[in-house]
Structure 1
Amino acid sequence: MLHLRRRRRTAIASLAATLLVLPIAASAHAAQLDASAARSDALVARPAAVLAAPDISVAAVKAHLTQLQSIATANGGNRAHGRPGYLASVNYVKGRLDAAGFTTVVQSFTYGGATGYNLIADWPGGDVNDVLMTGAHLDSVTAGPGINDNGTGSAAILETALAVAAQDLTPGRHLRFAWWGAEEQGLRGSTHYVNSLTAAARAQITGYLNFDMVGSPNPGYFVYDGDNSDGTGSGPGPAGSAVIESVIEGYFAGIGVPTRGTDFDGRSDYGPFIARGIPAGGTFTGAEGTKTSAQAALWGGTAGARFDPCYHAACDTTSNVDDTALDRNSDAIAHTVWTLSAGSGGGPGTPVWADGFETATGWTVNPSAADTATSGGWERGTPGATSSGTATQLTARTGTYDLVTGAAAGSSAGANDVDGGITSVRSPAITLPSSGTLTLSFAYYLAHLNNASSGDYLRVRVVGTTTGTVLTVSGAASNRAASWSTASADVSAFAGQSVRILVDAADASTASLVEAAIDDVVITQS
């Protein structure tokens, strides 16, 4: 991460660049519902395959850091722009990606009389008109090896990319990873990359994730403030940045780690992207700033000490990393990539609204004051797993919280299930864009025993100027085990409207056991 005083907003002059353009394997958008099914009175949801984000091995991430340290040690103690240690770092990362099946491009540029390099890696498949890009700067300052700044971000996104390959992920969005050169000289590599793109190519990048210093030894847990909810600093990022922020904050809330916003202040490689209106987000564990007493109470560590006492110094070695912070941030990166790539069934597109229920966002129970259920009503909660010969209630699909009927396990499987009729819950108002294909995606289950009937159900509707049903799952006189499924529906019929999502569950049978849940709700635009 560069010093703020060294940032340059002016155009970079005299950049002699060479870009080796390689073909990127493309595939069509993930199948969408037929437009005729998007009528507001008869929307139909479709199931989709699910792959959960992997647990990124902190040992594997640290192994990359060891390699970067060895490269610096063998090359004058640093990996700085124009120095042999930087090119050796590029070659190390490129070799790992090439072996994993990525298409890699090394883009060269000139700054300060020296040649710099960006490494761009594309994962085959996904919609190339809807690119989710993840980046970190790979260079260090000349004073030291730059292991926290920014070996940690570089290594964490490398291991995430290798996890994409290991799972053979098939996302709706095209995935691109980048390692930037000359960030410490004023965001030179990322600025060159963004400026070198045609307007059409820039428009294809619908989200950028940036990770710079994610293992500071006296760490904070900062998330770029996409919606300017902290009310200070440089203001919100481009439209869509708040969704990225919400996904990252939801992950940390799910593991019980509080976060705080940090401004888009121009100190890292998101700068050229947000300047072009590309939604951005990411995490940061602190640089030369001093941890306050309040922050130490929140996160532990030492009040009055710098987040990174070796910032831009020779002591920024493999000993200058907090393993816990590195582990948490590495997993947060994978969670964010998997979630926003729509590889878990969300379909392609730029997220415009999302709720993983890790924080309360204003869902209203019994919004019409017409519910009849006597127990097991909807709530945002931490569900207890229950079973009665078959699973009837599961823990949250991701994180800790979901929308669930009667979260507590109780003394028996039937203690807190839906009884006596209908229970409903409604989302806060959601303002939809007026253009593009809009897709609502979510995870769900309906579980019941063989004393259920077709009168029992789970139903999801979108309510705007009209009402459209996007999912109905009916009960039957058989055991149905709780199992997370996903569904998505084209809701473009509601474009430009303020809508709410309405979820109902019903136990209309005598003495039947019915449970239901909803998680990971996302609306995307493509």
Structure 2
Amino acid sequence: MRSRIFAAAGAAVLLACTAHPATAAPGPRAAAAAAPDISLANVKAHLAQLQTIANNNGGNRAHGRPGNKASVDYVKAKLDAAGYVTTVQTFTSSGATGYNLIADWPGGDPDRVLMTGAHLDSVTAGPGINDNGSGSAAILETALVVAQQNLKPDKHLRFAWWGAEELGLVGSNYYTNNLPSAERSKIKGYLNYDMVGSPNPGYFAYDGDGSSGSGGPAGSAEIEKVQRDYFASINVPVQDTAFDGRSDYGGFIRYGIPAGGLFTGAEEYKTSAQAQLWGGQAGTAFDRCYHSSCDTTANINDTALDRNSDAIAYSVWTLAGTPAPPGETVYADDLETDKGWTANPAGTDTAATGKFERGVPQATSYSGTNLQLAAAGGTRTLVTGASGGTSAGDNDIDGGTTSIQSAPITLPTGTLTLSFSWYLGHLNNASSDDYLRVRVVGPNGTTTVLNQPGAATNRSASWQTATANVSSFAGQSVRILVDAADAGGGSLIEAGIDNIKITKS
């Protein structure tokens, strides 16, 4: 990682996770395939190899030095053996050849790419085991577990190890600048991991929603929330770190690609308040060996490295969309034929336009923000006003709520999983009063399986997969109720639901 400081003198911009706004939640994932526990021993074995490479090549793995190319060769050999399609991209900086290693996991939607990256070079002063062997080793082991589990996610997975980050993000900027715009548009999220094992660690997530004053492009808040969700599950507080352009996310956010990542601190000093949160020593650097010869395998906090490695895997599994293995299908509706959906079933809808219907949606957008999408499969979907009209705001939801409900669905006994595709698109005149919601209504109660609020930011619609355990309704007759609202006053809101399925396992 390049030398960096926190904006506004550090601690002033850091917000404890308990006070962090919970906007733009990515939706329920309770029935998703469980993310693995990444082996700390395996991650440390990669670090030991990087240390050996540095020892054998003048004490570093810096750009233009033989240790850098040897590091690329080590990681590439691991990925090639695991079944990845690898590419080494070369570039020139400071009169020397640099290397970006790109690894694609076969499968997933090629038009929806989730990319995970870390820089592989060190400074010339030392072997760079925390900066950034830690991030490089953690994403390498995550990639290898993807292969071991033969993961088949919804999105296409791509991993990257960047060159010449320490010279000014040279490798990652070269990649994004030279990627055709059509290919850049396919990258739906970029995860960046730079220094995740600092010896006096803090736990920081990049500020996706801008709550500390430096947010990322639309969609970054969802990435931040996923990363925070993992740490909340292990009761570890997380604070914001700014998108200040000092790591490899820079070339991605410049092109409007949603981004996020984790960081355990560099040369900044840990405050007393932070030591109370996380332990460690106040008044000393998070990494006293930052950019120094002592950044060796002895310069790693195992607990931080273990936690962050598991958080990386959780983020990849969650954001890539990894549903549980399919079982017996007991209900399916791709919306291509009429299976008895009823609009405004309770007679209480208030929306004047953009009412839910089963129709053929016309894609609409405004200034590069997708609002209404074509069906996720086939031609028809449940959509808030299928016609596009002459402008993006012609047939969006206006004036209140709109709802649509399925015909009765008789469920068998057993373990049941509901899955469906969904999107919510809106402009920055939206608010948290606006929403898309999906509920299961049974004879003894109702369960909300998706509750996606709006926010005062442009949210580009993209099809996502939600899953939820609905076994509590086993043996009952239920209906699926979908509703959405423009309740915040004149917002531009669109929503869609498709490919509804209930399986028994």
Aligned residue in 1 for 2:164: 182
1:385-409, Cα deviation, whole Å (9 max, x unpaired): xxxxxxxxxxxxxxxxxxxxxxxxx
Whole-Å separation in 1 of the counterparts to 2:103 and 2:292: 30
Deviation at 1:201, TM superposition (A): 1.2
Instruction: Find out whether 1:171 has 2:107 as its counterpart.
Output: no
Query: How do 1:440-519 residues align onto structure 2 when only pairs under 5 Å count?
Result: 465-469=401-405, 474=410, 480-481=413-414, 483=415, 485-490=417-422, 498-501=434-437, 503=439, 506-508=442-444, 518=449
What is the alpha-carbon distance in structure 1 between the residues aligned to residue 232 and residue 423 of structure 2? 29
Do residues 215 (structure 1) and 162 (structure 2) align?
no
1:364-417 deviation per Cα after TM superposition (whole angstroms, max 9, x unaligned):
xxxx9xxxxxxxxxxxxxxxxxxxxxxxxxxxxxxxxxxxxxxxxxxxxxxxxx
Gaps in structure 1 of 5+ consecutive residues: 6-46, 348-367, 369-431, 440-462, 509-513
- 1:68 is aligned to 2:50: yes
- Give TM-score, length-normalised by structure 1: 0.65
Alignment check: 8 A CA contact 1:66 1:318 kept: yes
SS in 1 for 2:297: coil
User: Is 1:93 aligned with 2:38?
Assistant: no
CA shift in 2, pair 1:490/1:254, >3 Å: closer
Q: Which residue of 2 aligns with 1:239?
A: 218
Candidates 96, 109, 115, aligned match of 1:133 = 115
SS of residue matched to 2:371: coil
Q: CA deviation at 1:344?
A: 2.2
Contact 2:372 2:461 (C-alpha < 8 Å) held by counterparts: no
Aligned in 2, Cα 1:213/1:227: closer, same or farther, shift over 3 Å? same
Aligned equivalents of 1:468 and 1:322: distance in 2? 52
Distance in 2 between residues matched to 1:71 and 1:57, nearest whole Å: 22
Tell me, in whole angstroms, the C-alpha distance in 1 between the residues paired with 2:406 and 2:217.
Answer: 30
Output one character per residue of 1:500-521: Cα deviation in whole Å (capped at 9) or x when no partner: 415355454xxxxx99785898
Q: CA 1:167/1:209 → structure 2, altered by over 3 Å: closer, same or farther?
A: same
Distance 1:516 1:64, change over 3 A: same
Counterparts in 2 of 1:266-345, with a 5 A limit? Answer: 266-344=245-323
Deviations 1:443-468 (A, max 9, x none): xxxxxxxxxxxxxxxxxxxx974202
Displacement of 1:499: 2.9
CA shift, 1:97, in A, is: 0.0
1:252 alignment partner AA = F
**Is 1:260 equivalent to 2:239 in the alignment?**
yes
Q: Which residue of structure 1 aligns with residue 472 of structure 2? A: none
**CA displacement, residues 27-62 of structure 1 (integer Å, 9 cap, x when unaligned):** xxxxxxxxxxxxxxxxxxxx9984221110011000
Is the 2:370–2:461 contact (alpha carbons within 8 Å) kept by the matching residues of 1? no
CA separation of 1:438 and 1:95: change in aligned 2, threshold 3 A: same
Distance (whole Å) between structure 2 residues aligned to residue 176 and residue 145 of structure 1: 26
Query: In structure 2, which of residues 205, 210, 216 is the aligned counterpart of residue 228 of structure 1?
Result: 210
- 1:471 and 1:220 mapped to 2: Cα distance? 51
- Contact 2:200/2:286 (8 A) holds in 1: yes
Query: What do the CA deviations read for 1:281-333 (whole angstroms, capped 9, x no partner)?
Result: 00000000000000001111111010000000000000000000000100000
2:2 maps to 2
In the alignment, which residue of structure 2 is the partner of 1:361? none
Alpha-carbon distance in structure 2 between the residues aligned to 1:337 and 1:464 = 36
Partner of 1:142: helix, strand, or coil? Answer: coil
Q: What residue number does 2:371 align with?
A: 434
Q: For residue 362 of structure 1, what is the aligned residue in structure 2?
A: none
> How many Å separate the matches in 2 of 1:471 and 1:116?
60
Preserved contact between residue 48 and residue 345 of structure 1 (Cα < 8 Å) = no
Query: Match of 1:324, as an amino acid?
Result: T
Distance 1:296 1:331 in 2: 22
Q: Pairwise CA RMSD of aligned residues? A: 3.0
* Aligned equivalents of 2:408, 2:311: Cα separation in 1: 33
- Rounded Cα–Cα distance in structure 2 between residues aligned with 1:495 and 1:306: 42
The alpha-carbon distance between structure 1 residues 223 and 50, as it changes in their structure 2 partners (threshold 3 A), is closer
- Equivalent-residue separation in structure 2 for 1:310 and 1:76 (angstroms): 18
Q: Residues 326-377 of structure 1, C-alpha deviation per residue, up to 9 Å, x if partnerless? A: 0010000000001111122699xxxxxxxxxxxxxxxxxxxx9xxxxxxxxx
Aligned-residue sequence identity (percent) comes to: 59
Which position in structure 2 is the counterpart of 1:394?
Answer: none
Pick aligned residue for 2:178 from 171, 196, 208: 196
Kindly state the Cα deviation for residue 236 of structure 1 after the two structures are TM-superposed: 1.3
Q: Distance in 2 between matches of 1:469 and 1:322?
A: 52
- CA offsets, 1:149-180, max 9 Å, x none? 00000000000000110111111111100000
Identify if the C-alpha distance between structure 1 residues 464 and 215 changes in structure 2 by more than 3 Å, giving closer, same or farther. Answer: farther
3-state SS of 2:185 partner: helix
Matches of 2:406 and 2:197, distance apart in 1: 43
Letter in 2 for 1:317: T
